[in-house]
Amino acid sequence: MCGIVGYVGHREVTDFLVEGLHRLEYRGYDSAGVAVMQPDGLIAVRKKAGRVEALAGALESQPAGGSVGIGHTRWATHGPANDINAHPHVGGQGEVVLVHNGVIENYSQLRAQLQGLGYVFKSATDTEVVAHLVAHHLEEQVKLGGTIDDNKTYLRAVEASLRKLKGTYGLAILFRERPDMIIAARNGSPLVVGVGDNEHYIASDPSPLVGYTDQVVFLADHEIAVLTADRLDLRHRDTGRLSPSVQTLNQVSTEIEKGDFEHYMLKEIFEQPQTIENAMRGRFDEDEATAKFGGLNLTPQQLRRIDRIVLTACGTSWHAALVGEYLIEEFARVPVEVEYASELRYRNPPLSDRTAVFAITQSGETADTLAAMRECKRKGLPSLAICNTVGSTIAREADGGVYLHAGPEIGVASTKAFTSQVTVLALLALYFGRMRHLSFQAGKRLIGHLKAMPEVVSRTLECHESVKEVAQRYHEATNFLYLGRLYNFPVALEGALKLKEISYIHAEGYPAAEMKHGPIALIDEHTPSVFVVPRSGVYDKVISNMEEIRARKGPIIAIACEEDDNVAALADHVITVPSVDDYLQPIVTSIPLQLLAYEIALLRGCNVDRPRNLAKSVTVE
């Protein structure tokens, strides 16, 4: 959630740190800061609550020049968002300065112990405990004979400190007496090292590195990296030295720029024709009327043994999983359960060795999803990933999986990742279906429908002007209901989530038939109901639900197929979408709801790409 960036080399570090922090803003944060090694041997710390622009202003008035430094954007967990609690934090008498992403669960006990040793705390954070702890162990190492010019002294101090921490951390640490070095460590919170020409970088994700280097090393849990300008040493906390596995980063700067769009979210909504096509590219076997995947790492014989599938995810990915449940059960006739990852990681459900688990995640770093997948792997279940981020922890640790190929998603409110996830789940339904009961002709028909989706989604985006009119009418409402049936029930949930995330309006999604079991009490002339009602097998049922809302004078916004006169006669406002078969409707009907949330948020003056209190990648529990 927080963002970390660091550099050791020959460049002026401040400009890189500020630019890197700007690129990490999408992760969500409430303060920012940097620490820079100064020519006079001191570490200059500058930090401010608020946006990176405030930090940049502080650096203009109080410059901090040097070629080694670390930076941080904080998403508050312990203590309010203010200058004191902002990172970096100082340990001891200034001999240690560090930044931290994660949560230290035993920080209160460690804090009491350190206070007993005379360490004075200035902040309310758990991170300051780590800074003082490292300073304490550094002092202990010197007493044991370690010298301040020996990397091993600092490494041992860090290793001793890490063994006392319970929880998650991504750390980047500066030492006053070693101005040419950064030590980074990871457990449960992502870090990537960039390898340059006599320079090294550290970041929470690759985005700050784009344009500087394409050679990266993704740190795994319990790994520690010692970075100097000309050297990268990698160690495991428990087993010793490792050889870095350098990978090539296939990402270009234009992928993390807004281009001609006002916001990343709008850009990513309009990228969906291309990202859906990317999700399908190379994954059709026309001769066998099926899908094909190169990374599942299970043989057809192993896959045929599977008689139950668990889809686990959080947030928007969980809504995509609900669509996946309908798809796989309909086409493959395999029972599917959808589990909140945050619940599955602590439950002990009966799962046989004929159960496959798919962890669905955009970032590949979601803490709950990672923990749930690890728990299932521990029990010997085939654990696969549907993931967007190459090199992420979940992608590396899964037994196999499928990449979305949607490109970086910068907007906090997920859009293109959702439709890409649904597309991949449809491909998996086809794949499993053709292994079992689905006929050749049915497989060919499904392939044809999927191949048409990029063009269909391009036509769907033409509803944007209609959405703007609806947003203008209802942006001051304080409550919304979203209603749909079968494949469009998860779309109702997702539409409500989008509105809540970026416009801060209370919204709830329900199966339309459940409206009579309580939610109808909310209906009045001030509460809009958004019906997702394309033509389907339960179309008439949803029309009846609309009649019930209309009878109670509730405003109705309908997402309907083109030229649907029945809906037009009942709804106050109709946003039309192209007609597609039931099982592909979520890809189409979710798009006007993404646009509606976006336009309402704009009219309410909300920060669309960086909504309050939210982070793009939830890497803490």
Q: Which amino acid is at 559?
A: I
Q: Which of 47, 48, 267, 616 is catalytic?
A: 616
Name the DSSP class of 178: E
Burial status of residue 102 (CB atoms within 10 A of its CB: 0-12, 13-18, 19 or more): buried
Burial status of residue 301 (CB atoms within 10 A of its CB: 0-12, 13-18, 19 or more): exposed
Residue 161: name the closest of 91, 243, 68 by CA. Answer: 91
Note if 2 is an active site residue. Answer: yes
Instruction: Give the separation between CA 136 and CA 117, rounded to whole angstroms.
Output: 9
Q: What values do phi and psi take at 196, rounded to 5?
A: -120, -165
What strand order describes the sheet that includes 573-577?
Answer: 506-511, 479-484, 529-532, 556-561, 573-577
Instruction: Give the separation between CA 140 and CA 92, rounded to whole angstroms.
Output: 12
Instruction: Give the separation between CA 587 and CA 425, rounded to whole angstroms.
Output: 11
Interhelix angle 416-435/272-280, rounded to 10 degrees, is: 30
Strand, helix or coil for residue 383: strand
6 Cβ contact list (under 8 Å, min separation 6): 17, 69, 70, 71, 99, 172, 182, 184, 201, 202, 203, 227
**What tokens were used for 359?**
């962890």
281 Cβ contact list (under 8 Å, min separation 6): 405
The helix (H) or strand (E) run that includes residue 141 is helix 127-143
Note if 387 is an active site residue. Answer: no
Only one residue has tokens 């059960």, namely 329
Q: Which of 2, 314, 387, 561 is catalytic?
A: 2
Residues catalogued as catalytic: 2, 616
